[in-house]
Structure 1
Amino acid sequence: MAHPEPGTVVVTASGGGTYTQQVSTAGHTLLADEPVSVGGADAGPNPYELLLASLGSCTAITLRMYADRKGIPLTGATVRLRHDRVHAEDCEKCETEHGMLSRITREIELDGDLDDDQRAKLMLIADKCPVHRTLSSEIVIETRETGR
């Protein structure tokens, strides 16, 4: 199968397991799957892990770009993420008041000889990464069947 054009991601069953999917981009191929505990073959990250990886990598890249541009001595950043569902009533910063909602917890470890002001600015910049902004805004997903 040829790789899709830049900006397009194609996901197809890989045939390697019940839920194993091949994810193809313009220049890369990887597998996504579900864990064995839910019937998958665990051949790759599950969809939520891929979502968290997108946010985490975008965060780290944004921090690196900002630090380089501003001459901040950031030597590295480690981003740890977790997804869970919480009752809306338990969420202080949420607009939704009832039912369950998704929560992503992101912890960022900044390395380097950084002062308090640099650390504070980097933490503010983390929330400005493009994936964070996408996930925090209204998203419209348009679905249509093709190939018929």
Structure 2
Amino acid sequence: MKINFPGGKRVTSTYKGFTVETDQPTSEGGDGSAPEPYDLFLSSMGTCAGVYIVYFCESRNIPTDGLSMTLRFERNEESHLVETIAMQIHLPTGFPEKYRKAVIRSAQMCTVKRSLQYPPEIVVTATEPSE
């Protein structure tokens, strides 16, 4: 993954042929042209859990029409860090009752969520161009 700094408060990442753009809001000196990096982190949690829900439904031939999920975040007033992420799966009418607990378990298998439970070591270094 390559991280670039195209100007202003914008930062992009390029990986597997995709470019993800981020920016800071105008109140933070950015242009507000893209999501903030932390917003993408939170979005990755929801979309990752969502993929597991889709796989679960597909493997049981359960239609996903009307299926959605809401994430709510509770932040610590002092640290401003998110302390709780509440995921609420909105099941469509007619969703089989016998799969209600299982679809919750499938969302909990999300790799992003599990990475937070068992965080990797993060090593930061700096280099200069070779001459």
Give the TM-score category using the shorter length. 0.7 to 0.9
What TM-score do you get using the length of structure 2 for normalisation? Answer: 0.81
- Aligned partner of 2:71: which letter? L
Q: Which runs of 4+ in 1 moved over 4 A?
A: none
In structure 2, the partner of 1:10 is 2
Total equivalences in the alignment = 126
User: Which of 121, 124, 128 is 1:140 aligned to?
Assistant: 121
Residues 52/121 of structure 1: CA separation in 2 closer, same or farther (3 Å cut): same
Which structure 2 residue ranges, 5 or more long, are not aligned? none
Q: Deviations over 1:58-80 (max 9, x none)?
A: 11111111111133333353233
Identity across matched positions, percent: 27
Match of residue 91 from structure 1: none
Q: Whole-Å Cα distance in 1 between the matches of residues 111 and 67 of structure 2? A: 17
Structure 1 unmatched ranges of 5 or more: 1-8, 88-99
**How well do the aligned residues superpose, as a CA RMSD in angstroms?**
2.2
3-state SS of the aligned residue for 2:91?
A: strand
| 1:46 paired to 2:36 | yes
Structure 1 145/112 Cα, relative in aligned 2: closer, same or farther at 3 Å? Answer: farther
2:46 paired with 1:56: yes
Structure 2 match to 1:5: none
In the alignment, what sits opposite 2:69? 79
Q: Secondary structure at the match of 2:27?
A: helix
Alpha-carbon separation, structure 2, partners of 1:13 and 1:35 = 16
